[in-house]
Amino acid sequence: MTVDKPSFHSSASDTDTVKPQEQKSWVPTLLIGIAIAYLALVQYIPAINVFFQAFSKGVGPFLSNLTRADFLNAVWLTFLLAAISLPLNTVFGLCAAWAIARHKFPGRAIILSIIDLPFSISPVVAGLMIVLLYGRQGWFGPWLQANDIRIIFAFPGMLLATAFVSMPFVAREVIPVLEEFGKDQEEAARTLGAKDWQIFLRVTLPSIRWGLLYGLILTNARAMGEFGAVSVVSGNIADQTQTLPLFVEDAYKQYETEAAFSAAVLLALLAVVTLVLKEILERKTRIKDVE
C-alpha cells in the first residue's frame, strides 16, 4: 500500500502567481491619484479660485458687479448671439446630417471635412478669415462700404464668427444616430403615403431627439463661451461689441478684479448647467440603448 505524498508544487506555483498580482494592485490606485492630481491642478483649483476671488469682499460687491450697465450689455449680447446662431446651426446641422447619412454622392468626404473645419483651426484664425473677407481691405470690403453695410466691428461679424465656431456640433451628433437608425421605417412610412415633412416629424425626429438635444447643448455652450474669433471681429468695444468672455478679459486688464471674476462665475455656472444637461441626456441615451 502506497501513500501519496502531498505535492507542494501547485501551491508554490499559486503563490508565485498571486504575488505579482498583489504587487500590481497599487497601479490602478497610482493612476487614479495622478488623474485626480492633474484635474485638481488644471480644473478644480482654478475653478475654486474664481469663486473665491468673486466673493472675497462679500456677496454685496458681487451682486453690485452683476448690475453694471456694461456687464448687463455683455450678457445680453452673449445671449443674443447664442439665440440666433443656435437655430441657424440646428437647421444647417439637420440638413447636412440628412444629406450625408441618407445619400452617397461624390464629394461626401470633402463636405465632412469642411463641417469639421472649426475643430481643426484656431478660432483666432477663423476670425482673421472673416476680417479678410468682409473687412475694408477684404474681398467684399469695397462693395460693403459702397452700400454702407458694416460687418467687421459690428454685430453681423460677431454672429458670423459665433456661427462658424459652433457649426459642427449638431451635424456631428445627428449623423451617427441617423446611420444607426437606418431607412427602413422611413421607407415604410413613405410606402403608406406619408409626405416628407410627416416622415421627418413623426418618424425621423423622434429617433434622433437625444442626439439632436446633445448637439444643441454643445452648440449653445460653445456659442456663449467663444472668445478668440469674436475678439478678432468685434473690436471689443464696451457697451457695443463686448460679449461676456470679452468683458472678463477687459475688466481684468483694467484691474477690476472683482468684476472680472463675478462675470467668470456666471460663465462657470452656465458651464455647470451644460454639464448637468449633458449628463442627463447621456443617461437617457444609455437607458434607451438598454431597452
* 41-94 pLDDT, tens digit each: 998 898 898 888 888 888 888 888 888 999 999 999 999 999 999 999 999 999
Cell of 147: 452700400
Given a cut of 50, the residues of the chain with pLDDT beneath it are 1, 8, 12, 15, 18
pLDDT at residue number 285 = 66
CA nearest neighbour of 135 among 156, 162, 166: 156
For residue 204, the model assigns a pLDDT of 86
Q: Are 142 and 135 in contact (CB under 8 A)?
A: no
Helical (H) or strand (E) element with 41: none
Contact predicate 126/118, CB 8 Å: yes
Query: What span, in angstroms and rounded, lies between the C-alpha atoms of 213 and 273?
Result: 14
Residues 241, 234 contacting (CB under 8 angstroms): yes
Cα 176 to its chain centre, rounded Å, is 17
For residues 100 and 170, the answer to whether their CB atoms sit within 8 Å is no
H or E stretch at 96: helix 69-102
Give pLDDT, residue 1.
47
> pLDDT value at position 88?
95
Tally helices (H) and strands (E) across the chain: 17, 0
**Residue-level pLDDT at 24:** 61
How many angstroms separate the Cα of 142 from the Cα of each of 9, 132, 147, 158, 180? 90, 12, 9, 20, 48
Q: What CATH number should be reported for the domain whose range is 58-286?
A: 1.10.3720.10
Contacts of 77 (CB under 8 A, 6+ apart): 155, 158, 241, 242, 243, 244
Single-letter amino acid code for the residue at 174: V
Question: d(Cα 178, Cα 40) in Å, to the nearest integer?
Answer: 38
Which DSSP letter does residue 204 get? I
